[in-house]
Amino acid sequence: MLLQLQGIFASGPWDPWETHYGEVARSILSRDDPMDLWWRPGFGPDGKKEQSFASKHAMPFWCMAVSLRLFGLGTGPDPGEMVQPYLPELALRLPGLLASWAMIAFWAYVVWRLVSPRAALLVALVMATTPQLAIVGRQAITDIYFVGPVALAMGAWILAHEGPDRRITRRRLGPLSIPSDRVWWVFVAAFVLFAMVPVVVLQAHVWDAHTIARVGTWSKRPTIPGVDDLAQVGRHLMIYWATSLVVLVAAWRWRTRAQIWMGVVYLAAGLALMGKGLLGPGIIGALIATHLLVTGRWDRLLRSQLPLGVVIFVTACFPWHHAMALFREDVWVQELLIDNNLTRFVSGEQDQAVGGFVYYLRTLGLAALPWSCVLPVVVWVALQRFRRGATTLPSTATRLWRFVFLWFAVTFGVISYSVTKYYHYLAPVLPPLAIATGLWLDRVLGESPQSPDESAGPSRTGRLLAWGLAVAAGVLVLQVWVLEPAWLAHLTTYLYTAMWTDGAPRTNITVWLCLPFALGLLAWVFRRGRAAVAGMLLSSVLLTGWIFARYIPEASEHWSQRNLFRVLYDNRGPEDPVMSWWFYYRGETFFSKRHIWVLTEPKREQTAKFVDEHRGQGRTLWIVTTAAHAKRAENYFPPDLHGKFELHYENAHYALLSVPVP
């Protein structure tokens, strides 16, 4: 997990979309408004191009906003604070890092309980060194905020229905019998923090005099909310005080650990929806239904506390949605739930974001390298667990194997069915793949030439064939990785064409970093378990370490505008205007804290008007644009500025120009 900290300060927030999400989080603080997520590019002709943000759910931005507040960033008068060393990028990424680490630690605990401490350690190592999963957990994007809760729900489900159960320990305190079980207290603390605290914050916000005064100044139009809407939101939020009380009373009456773990399942489903949308609880529900169907143990459904679970789920994810549906009404509901959830699933969002079933198979090769090379073997071993009497593993470990395979298959099927496809949509597939790989490594580690264990893989001939296929797959993936080095940067972004193919650092060294993995696989062929696991782990650690220590910091020079704005703030005069010209991403807004004039198209008349506003004042105009547009900028500015432009900074994507205004 410490691998993710490498280079975290050397790489600035990326476009797209760390800076977009970072600006939404910063706006929560600057506007003192945790309910109505908001976005505005700046000022000028296109400064109000967007005046709302209804494409994502609230939890990631709440977490980032809290982190920014703890670091004292986002609300000061100096926009240069957003490019100061160390703190801004750490503040944005820390919540996601903690979520990633918690996911890994929790699944290590699950495997420890169901299999062994050694297997738990191996699962944790594979999860931490699966490239896309590690990167998603480090970047300030929304995916980890639903991948983590889904993984939490899956672990809680398997502990509730496949792990050893026990009664909750209690102790007497006068007339009361108080639960003293640690898992019970963890659930209650999580429920209070993630379900009840948001209700408190939202209700305090809508009843706050400052909020009422601000909303009261808004124009009186049918589509614009007013003070009456705030009052209505406050009244409706009282519903969730009642549901919270129901949950806490019911939790007090729980008698077994399985009941607690089912409570965690429902809470995690709510958090998954708050993290990224309907896909999270959809995957959880689909997997649980598939698991019950395959095992045929529908009696578990009767022990799943479904009515109480619905109350827990509703309390965890409905309050903010309920409040915003009342406040912004049908337009908001349409954009968030219909356009950005359901419609994306059944129709393509962009031409570059569509594909067939093999789209994610190809992506998986890079996203999980080098572990993707052993995917066929891991799947083969997992399928063996479904054969009657085909394993000598303890029954709980066998059921874990089966469940993890179902998790992988169901999730891969769901995201492959979705018409809209982005590389980072693969992320929820990676935890079950990593867990299954870690379990397989545990079996490999127990092998020896004298006592072969066929449950860890096929025969010698089959192993040789598997080694050849793995090496061939690795060569194909590495060939693409070397020829298209930007592909690795694209694992957490959504723009893959035009200028976004330029500027990625060379990736040739990855061939050598994967060599120990190939040797480890060869050792596996000859049943040298320790050598095999050592070689594979060494390769994965080296590759992940290189990604965070070298690749991401070097790619950041081109994917982030941070260094451009550092040059700007080092050279700009206090009254010099800054313009975003023929340019519209998000970094320019985040790093300037919205103090930037925005023109998204090269319109000469509007450009000249802005220049005229600053004539005769001894000011220098600073222009943030793309590297390609910088070469043509003079042609669109007033003639008396021609020949006076100076290039201060340029990378593969962005450029910073200045011109004195006479």
Residues 7-22, mean pLDDT to the nearest whole number? 91
pLDDT value of residue 349: 61
Q: Phi-psi region for residue 174, left (φ > 0), alpha (ψ -120 to 50) or beta?
A: left
More confident residue, 593 or 463: 593
Encoding tokens for residue 325? 């549906």
pLDDT value of residue 391: 45
Q: Residue 384 pLDDT > 90, yes or no?
A: no
Give the DSSP per-residue string, 128-195.
HT-HHHHHHTTSSSSTHHHHHHHHHHHHHHHHHHTSPP-BPPEEEETTEEEE--HHHHHHHHHHIIII
Torsion over CA: 467, 473, 478, 479 (sign): positive
Cβ contact 447:456 at 8 Å:
yes
Q: Residue 388 pLDDT > 60, yes or no?
A: no
pLDDT value of residue 474: 86
Q: What is the pLDDT of residues 394-407, one digit of tens each?
A: 567 788 988 999 99
Q: What is the pLDDT of residues 15-34, one digit of tens each?
A: 998 999 999 999 999 999 99
Nearest-CA neighbor of 585 among 488, 644, 500? 500
Residues 55-59, mean pLDDT to the nearest whole number? 92
Q: What is the pLDDT of residues 517-556, one digit of tens each?
A: 999 998 988 888 899 999 999 999 999 999 999 999 999 9
Which band of pLDDT confidence, cut at 50, 70 and 90, is reported for residue 389?
very low
Cβ contact 502:558 at 8 Å:
yes
Q: Residue 298 pLDDT > 90, yes or no?
A: no
Residues 235-243, mean pLDDT to the nearest whole number? 96
Q: Classify residue 508 by burial, with Cβ atoms within 10 Å: 0-12, 13-18, 19+.
A: exposed
C-alpha distance from residue 319 to each of 2, 54, 147, 197, 200 (Å): 36, 16, 21, 11, 10
More confident residue, 76 or 637: 637
Q: Under 8 Å CB-to-CB from 206, ≥6 apart: which residues? A: 35, 230, 231, 233, 234, 237, 323
Residue 629's H or E segment, with its range, is helix 627-630
More confident residue, 510 or 386: 510
- Tell if the pTM clears 0.85, that is, is over it: yes
pLDDT value of residue 456: 52
> Which of 3-12, 179-188, 312-321, 579-588 reaches the highest mean pLDDT?
312-321
Q: Residue 173 pLDDT > 80, yes or no?
A: no
Which band of pLDDT confidence, cut at 50, 70 and 90, is reported for residue 513?
very high
Q: Classify residue 249 by burial, with Cβ atoms within 10 Å: 0-12, 13-18, 19+.
A: exposed
Q: Residue 461 pLDDT > 60, yes or no?
A: yes
Share of the chain above pLDDT 90, in %: 65
Residues 403-427, mean pLDDT to the nearest whole number? 89
Mean pLDDT, the chain, rounded, equals: 89
Q: Residue 565 pLDDT > 60, yes or no?
A: yes
Encoding tokens for residue 132? 């896309």
Q: Classify residue 351 by burial, with Cβ atoms within 10 Å: 0-12, 13-18, 19+.
A: exposed
| Least confident interval from 133-137, 203-207, 359-363, 426-430 | 359-363
SS3 of 648, please? strand
